[in-house]
Amino acid sequence: MKLKATIIWGVCMLTAQLSASVFSADVFSGYTLLKQETKEMQDDDFLNQGMATVEKGGKLFASIGKNGKSCETCHGQGGKKLDPKVIATYPVLNSKTQRPITLQQHIINEWTENLGNAPLKYESSDALALEAFVRNLARGQVVNVQTGGKMVPFFEQGKKLYEEARAGQLDMACASCHNLYPGLKLRAQVLSQGQSNGFPLYRLADGKVVGVQTRINQCFDQFRAEGYPFGSEENTLLELYMNARGNGLKIETPAVRF
């Protein structure tokens, strides 16, 4: 069955149609592949449906926690004290654990430890809203994830998961699509490089905002594999590598994608 499925996938890719533009191996955002009307939707905050989630995150950011504090107590009204350049470096190395931590996990930790609130479930609507709000503060900032120093072993593990770890009935890795076939169509969808600079983003196919790890697991579903749990070490390493692959791209949160 694995061989048959792989052959079928290969036939699909060989018969895929080239998109209107031909791309080099340079890093480019999925925005490049969007139809003009979708680009206009992303660019206009009144049309971009992801902005409703950003606004929700802003309200949560200002809400008073169980201990009488809010995120604004430390980070200023509307997060004005947050440094966009720092936001653009996530995932970062956690000073306590000396392991990578995603922006969403950092927010969840702050929500619980500093505000005394009940923990938010990873990729829940509230956690995504807070992450979208914070990432939106860095919109236009260049992604700059650390890949050297103490981050090297984690970056390499994430790279191996992304480029080499095959799974599912189709026996595929993330790189099987996003490294080899960006710009080609798979059915009605144009394959991108799998860049994460727009997350959390509004996905038209879902009709809602999704996070990086939700999208990773959706891809696993497509090649008939079981994804990793949200917030797991594997998904954190994948997110680290994916964000680092996009170093130099501008943050687009909330992007709009198919």
Three-class SS string for 190-230? Answer: ECCCCCCCCCCEEECCCCEEECHHHHHHHHHHHCCCCCCCC
User: How many domains does the chain contain in total?
Assistant: 1
List the CATH number of the domain containing 223.
1.10.760.10
Question: Quick one: pLDDT band at residue 81, thresholds 50, 70, 90?
Answer: very high
More confident residue, 90 or 177: 90
In this predicted structure, which of 7-21, 125-139, 175-189, 199-213 has the lowest mean pLDDT?
7-21
Query: Taking Cα atoms as reference points, which of 34, 14, 41 lies closest to residue 191?
Result: 34
More confident residue, 7 or 178: 178
More confident residue, 1 or 184: 184
Question: Quick one: pLDDT band at residue 176, thresholds 50, 70, 90?
Answer: confident
Domain that holds residue 183: 1-258
What is the spatial distance between Cα 198 and Cα 250, in angstroms, rounded to a whole number? 8
Question: Annotated catalytic, 12?
Answer: no
Residue 25 has pLDDT above 80, yes or no: no
Residue 123 has pLDDT above 60, yes or no: yes
**pLDDT score recorded for residue 22:** 34
What residues does 189 pair with on adjacent strands? Answer: 186
The catalytic residue among 71, 74, 177, 219 is 219
Residue 171 has pLDDT above 90, yes or no: no
Residue 188 has pLDDT above 80, yes or no: no
Three-state SS letters, 135-161: HHCCCCCECCCCCCHHHHHHHHHHHHH
How many percent of the chain have pLDDT more than 90? 72
Q: What is the mean pLDDT of the chain?
A: 87
Residue 1 has pLDDT above 70, yes or no: no
- Write out pLDDT tens, residues 39-77: 999 999 999 999 999 999 999 999 999 999 999 999 999
